[in-house]
């Protein structure tokens, strides 16, 4: 590989909600969703039932964690080759989630999506080949009957093969669903391809959940729930993209907004938050914008630093900056990738507006009302 991941992840306050604990790998924050720890407990319980040592159980759990992490790093490496930055990797019960700065497009999505399962196939194939060359039997009964230290490599290899196959199921938003969407998008509009892949994902999740209920496998029901919610969110996002169409940012942006000064305190920001309906505030240093203070960042800083701390210490210097002529659909995707953070609109170097998910929704509602009224007038005439 002739390129490397960025050595430093730019600051971003809007990380995935519900995470507990984090580490950094190749400059990318790796965060753990609170439900991920349920998998750790599950693996410990399963390991304690076998004949393997405590060290073997620990190594197995760490290997599964490492396999999922390498899977997501596979996505990140290929995304980097397409000049897409990875904001963070979130460890979830059904695997991991590499949150990208922007969604891959066209053939980019195919290669980014397939990279993760490919990593697991390579790891699984290598470990199974190593076990076979070592004279170990690869028959399922040898590693399914009783987990022990002697069949550790086979079990890790099988786990990687399972991760690859499971993620290749064509159920959006899993990797297989994304691969399916990228292939469908070659012959259909992207929104239609997304809806088709999302419907398949929701259907497969419903079947999986029903089977889990009938079989008494509530862990399978848990996984089906995650898949269903993810597919539904992707479908809603696709419908919104189609509704936006070819609109640009300028007519949707907020032009009447308040700002903070670089030397203001968090108490000043809190007073402004209460006095207005605004949630995010540009922070000015003279005539230029030095950063963006979000409501979440302000509350966290208030709790940790106190109200007399300066906004400069809590603001996001890596804020989203877009021109008024940018496509609204693309900017909405960028805002969503930052978990709802707002975008600042600049004409040359002058701040001319702000864009949030809320005012985009209001703009679309008002636009549809106007269209309906205009259509009614045309029919009446």
Residue 257, pLDDT score: 92
Model confidence pLDDT, tens digit, residues 104-163 = 887 899 999 999 999 999 999 998 888 778 766 666 655 555 666 677 788 888 889 988
Question: CA–CA distance from 41 to each of 61, 93, 220 (Å)?
Answer: 10, 11, 16
CA distance 23 to 73: 14
Residue 10: the pLDDT is 39
Strands 95-100 and 86-92: antiparallel
Q: Compute the average pLDDT of residues 212-216.
A: 89
Instruction: Say which residue, 240 or 128, is predicted with more confidence.
Output: 128
Cα(22)–Cα(33) distance, rounded to whole angstroms?
A: 9
- Rounded distance, CA 202 to CA 156, Å? 30
The pLDDT tens digits for 25-79 are: 888 888 887 777 777 777 676 666 666 677 777 788 888 888 988 999 999 999 9
Q: Per-residue pLDDT tens for 285-324?
A: 988 999 999 888 899 899 998 989 999 999 988 888 999 9
> 71-103, pLDDT tens digit by residue?
999 999 999 999 998 888 888 766 778 888 887
- pLDDT above 60: residue 275: yes
Q: Using the 8-state DSSP alphabet, how is residue 262 labeled?
A: T
Judge whether residue 7 has pLDDT over 60: no
pLDDT band at 352 (very low <50, low <70, confident <90, very high): very high
Q: What's the confidence (pLDDT) of residue 145?
A: 53
CATH for the 250-365 domain, from 3.10.580.10, 3.30.1490.20, 3.90.320.10, 3.40.50.1260: 3.10.580.10
With 0-12 CB in 10 A as exposed, 13-18 as middle and 19+ as buried, what is 7? exposed
Q: Nearest 10 degrees: CA dihedral of 29, 301, 18, 177?
A: -50
- Helix spans in the chain (H): 36-48, 54-81, 107-133, 140-144, 152-167, 175-184, 190-215, 218-244, 266-275, 295-305, 328-337, 357-380
Q: What is the mean pLDDT of residues 20-28?
A: 77
pLDDT for 328-337, tens place per residue?
A: 888 887 887 6
pLDDT in the model for residue 46: 64
Does the pTM of the predicted model rise above 0.85?
no
Cα–Cα dist 20/168, whole Å: 28
Q: Mean pLDDT throughout 246-264?
A: 90
- Domains of the chain, by residue range, sit at 19-168, 191-244, 250-365
At residue 147, the pLDDT reads 64
Average pLDDT, the chain: 82
d(CA 159, CA 171): 20
16-20, 230-234, 274-278: which is most confident = 274-278
pLDDT for residue 6: 33
Q: What pLDDT, on the 0 to 100 scale, is given for residue 329?
A: 82
The pLDDT of residue 357: 82
Please give the share of the chain, as a percent, with pLDDT higher than 90.
26
| Residue 5, pLDDT above cutoff 50 | no
- Mean pLDDT computed over 230-249: 79
User: In the chain, pLDDT over 70 holds for what percent of residues?
Assistant: 85
Q: Reply yes or no on whether the pLDDT at 9 is more than 60.
A: no
Per-residue model confidence (pLDDT) at position 258: 93
Task: Summarize pLDDT for 185-195 with one digit per residue, the tens.
Answer: 888 887 788 88
């Amino acid at each position: 590989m002739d390129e490397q991941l960025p050595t430093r992840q730019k600051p971003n306050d809007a990380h995935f909600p519900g995470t507990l604990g984090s580490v950094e790998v190749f400059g990318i924050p790796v965060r753990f969703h609170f439900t991920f720890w349920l998998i750790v407990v599950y693996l410990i319980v399963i390991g304690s039932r076998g004949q393997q040592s405590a060290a073997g159980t620990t190594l197995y759990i760490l290997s599964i964690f490492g396999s999922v992490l390498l899977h997501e790093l596979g996505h990140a490496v290929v995304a980097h080759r397409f000049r897409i930055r990875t904001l963070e990797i979130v460890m979830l019960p059904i695997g991991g989630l590499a949150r990208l700065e922007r969604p891959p497009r066209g053939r980019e999505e195919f290669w980014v999506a397939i990279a993760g399962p490919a990593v697991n196939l390579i790891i699984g194939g290598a470990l199974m080949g190593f076990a076979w060359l070592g004279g170990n039997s690869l028959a399922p009964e040898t590693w399914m009957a009783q987990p022990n230290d002697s069949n550790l490599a086979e079990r890790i290899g099988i786990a990687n093969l399972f991760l690859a196959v499971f993620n290749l199921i064509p159920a959006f938003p899993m990797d297989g669903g994304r691969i399916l969407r990228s292939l469908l998008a070659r012959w259909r509009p992207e929104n239609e391809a997304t809806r088709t892949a999302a419907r398949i994902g929701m259907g497969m999740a419903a079947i999986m959940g029903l089977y889990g209920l009938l079989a008494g496998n509530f862990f399978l029901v848990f996984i089906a729930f995650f898949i269903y919610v993810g597919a539904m969110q992707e479908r809603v996002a696709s419908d919104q993209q189609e509704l936006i169409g070819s609109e640009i940012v300028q007519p949707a942006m907020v032009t009447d907004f308040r700002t903070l000064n670089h030397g203001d305190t968090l108490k000043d920001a809190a007073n402004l938050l209460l006095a207005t309906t605004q949630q995010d505030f540009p922070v000015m240093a003279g005539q230029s914008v030095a950063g963006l203070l979000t409501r979440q960042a302000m509350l966290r800083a208030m709790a940790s630093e106190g109200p007399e701390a300066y906004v400069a210490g809590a603001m996001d210097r890596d804020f989203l900056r877009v021109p008024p002529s940018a496509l609204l659909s693309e900017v909405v995707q960028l805002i969503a990738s930052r978990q709802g953070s707002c975008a600042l609109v600049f004409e040359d170097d002058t701040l001319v507006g702000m864009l949030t998910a809320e005012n985009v929704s209001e703009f679309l509602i008002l636009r549809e009302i106007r269209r309906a009224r205009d259509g009614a007038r045309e029919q009446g005439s």
